[in-house]
Chain A
């Protein structure tokens, strides 16, 4: 556990970066610091490994005051990931990952073996090991950054906007993999971002900071969305809070209806018969995975991928209410497609059934008055 006790950072010119921060980052969990520019989130992060020294207050790791530790030793025991990975351009990928183990005096072969293993673990081919960072894409570099931070298996990881320099699709992918990795590793992580969506997605708990470095609210993401402490937090969370809050509510008892489907290659006659008078018919591939919708009445030749309407999203059975609702709303048939863990069709669900479920369930979202604002 990392604990901040009344920590402040005041710069010589009088600027207060952090103004009396008290909070705890529990062991084995992801604590996200989020807030606008100037809220002291990065400063707070860097005070943990003493890249920046606090002006007053105590930061302790498992009860030990970091101020009493040797900064270099302290840092070697804490993984650190920054934007764009901060990789050493003049070292190969594997050399980058081996950095801390070698500093700790590991045998070179052991360090190399560990590094190779970690590259695979973060989803990189070991064939990249001897390349230089500038020969990798931004997303790949970011993965190397994570592997490097994990190399000596430190119990604590500090992550400073690690995913903000990559494009949205890659970012989403990196976030998912990061969560999967954390599930296996259970590190104590402090994660800094300015992106509230990222904070809500990744955090076990989210600390919203105000300009001047004070804590506005510390809560789990669903609590944060459901019950923002004040206008600042509500504004920072932005719109669609009720809808976004559904991401944290699952729907075990959702009314799922069976959905008749045809396989790719079905003839127009087969499709018309299967549709039984309905306008839209779901198409699955040979594995039973939904691939899109067709309008049987407009079919003149066997169903192929080119004819498919692909607007509908697909939700996992037992997943969040948000995904189920979105599947229903985005489907041209207004029937949301649900799949099992293997991606095979389970059935469909209608928006009104999801809404019924939402109203029946615990009140997760308490949408206050809708604010019309542009939160930067």
Chain B
């Protein structure tokens, strides 16, 4: 406890970096997963390869991916970009299937009605299919958020400072306090992100809880 009070500033800095490294890839991954999921849903033949390939991405060990990134991107080993790109890939891996399945769960009647009313495919995607897929996509997003928070900490092994650094630091010094603080901070962050996604979903789906539109 005293250790934490002595290092509040440092822990806070690590916490904020951790947020940045976990959330930016979440957003990028989400944006990339939308078209991929749409294609997988729209063209039945494309579904198996897209879902298999994105699924396989997730099986690449994170440490290996972090180490590979500088070689592929030409970035420095300590660059944040490596982490952001790698985690974006993981997010795409988790969300593509979710997006495809969420779109598939939109009632066919509703899509037919939209088409019959002269709503073109692009407009239909953004105004009808995507909003109705939000509950399913949100569930996937929550998994991806927690997963990102956890995987970011591995980057401490490469010397990229965030909450994971507390683990390497504590381990190197055989000192428990930073490790405990790091675990608590990671849990806290995961819970905060989860609550944030739940809240955003609630706001985006007024029809599911009988709230009247303004």
Point out residues on A near B: beta carbons under 8 Å.
49, 51, 71-76, 78, 80, 82-92, 95, 99-100, 103, 130-135, 148, 158
Contact status of A130 and B213, CB under 8 A, knowing A83-B109, A90-B205: yes
Please tell me if the beta carbons of B118 and A88 are within 8 angstroms of each other in the complex.
no
Which A-chain residue is minimally distant from B119 (CB atoms)? A103
Please tell me if the beta carbons of B118 and A100 are within 8 angstroms of each other in the complex.
yes
> Which residues of the partner chain A approach B107 to less than 8 Å between Cβ atoms?
89
> Which residues of the partner chain B approach A76 to less than 8 Å between Cβ atoms?
117-118
Please tell me if the beta carbons of B110 and A134 are within 8 angstroms of each other in the complex.
no
B interface majority secondary structure: helix
10 A-B pairs whose Cβ atoms sit less than 8 Å apart in the complex: A72-B119, A76-B117, A87-B113, A89-B110, A89-B207, A90-B132, A100-B118, A133-B207, A148-B117, A158-B116
Closest CB-CB distance, B43 to chain A, in whole Å?
15
Assembly CA distance A366 to B152 (angstroms): 83
> Which residues of the partner chain B approach A133 to less than 8 Å between Cβ atoms?
207
Total chain B interface residues with beta-carbon distance under 8 A: 21
Q: Which of A73, A74, A85, A99 has the most CB of B within 10 A?
A: A99
Closest CB-CB distance, B91 to chain A, in whole Å?
25
Point out residues on B near A: beta carbons under 8 Å.
107, 109-110, 112-120, 128, 131-132, 205-207, 210, 212-213
Please tell me if the beta carbons of A103 and B118 are within 8 angstroms of each other in the complex.
yes
Please tell me if the beta carbons of A132 and B210 are within 8 angstroms of each other in the complex.
yes
Supplied contacts A73-B118, A148-B117, 5 more A-B pairs, CB within 8 Å:
A51-B115, A78-B116, A92-B213, A103-B117, A135-B210
> Which residues of the partner chain A approach B117 to less than 8 Å between Cβ atoms?
75-76, 80, 99-100, 103, 148
Closest CB-CB distance, B110 to chain A, in whole Å?
6
Please tell me if the beta carbons of A72 and B113 are within 8 angstroms of each other in the complex.
no
- A-B contact number at CB 8 A: 70
Closest CB-CB distance, B30 to chain A, in whole Å?
19
Closest CB-CB distance, A189 to chain B, in whole Å?
15
Please tell me if the beta carbons of B112 and A90 are within 8 angstroms of each other in the complex.
no
Please tell me if the beta carbons of B212 and A75 are within 8 angstroms of each other in the complex.
no
Please tell me if the beta carbons of A82 and B113 are within 8 angstroms of each other in the complex.
yes
Closest CB-CB distance, A48 to chain B, in whole Å?
10
Task: Give the residue of B116, B120, B131, B207 whose beta carbon is less than 8 angstroms from that of A80.
Answer: B116
Assembly CA distance A71 to B120 (angstroms): 9
Assembly CA distance A205 to B128 (angstroms): 36
Closest CB-CB distance, A72 to chain B, in whole Å?
5
Assembly CA distance A89 to B208 (angstroms): 9
> Which residues of the partner chain B approach A73 to less than 8 Å between Cβ atoms?
118
Q: Which 4 A-B pairs have the closest CB atoms?
A: A86-B113, A76-B118, A75-B118, A80-B116
Which A-chain residue is minimally distant from B212 (CB atoms)? A130
Please tell me if the beta carbons of B113 and A80 are within 8 angstroms of each other in the complex.
yes
Assembly CA distance A89 to B112 (angstroms): 13
> Which residues of the partner chain B approach A88 to less than 8 Å between Cβ atoms?
110, 113-114, 128
> Which residues of the partner chain A approach B128 to less than 8 Å between Cβ atoms?
88, 90
Closest CB-CB distance, B99 to chain A, in whole Å?
17
> Which residues of the partner chain B approach A95 to less than 8 Å between Cβ atoms?
213
Assembly CA distance A134 to B210 (angstroms): 9
Please tell me if the beta carbons of B120 and A132 are within 8 angstroms of each other in the complex.
no
> Which residues of the partner chain B approach A84 to less than 8 Å between Cβ atoms?
109
Which B-chain residue is minimally distant from A46 (CB atoms)? B116
Please tell me if the beta carbons of A90 and B113 are within 8 angstroms of each other in the complex.
no
Task: Give the residue of A72, A74, A90 whose beta carbon is less than 8 angstroms from that of B207.
Answer: A90
> Which residues of the partner chain B approach A148 to less than 8 Å between Cβ atoms?
117
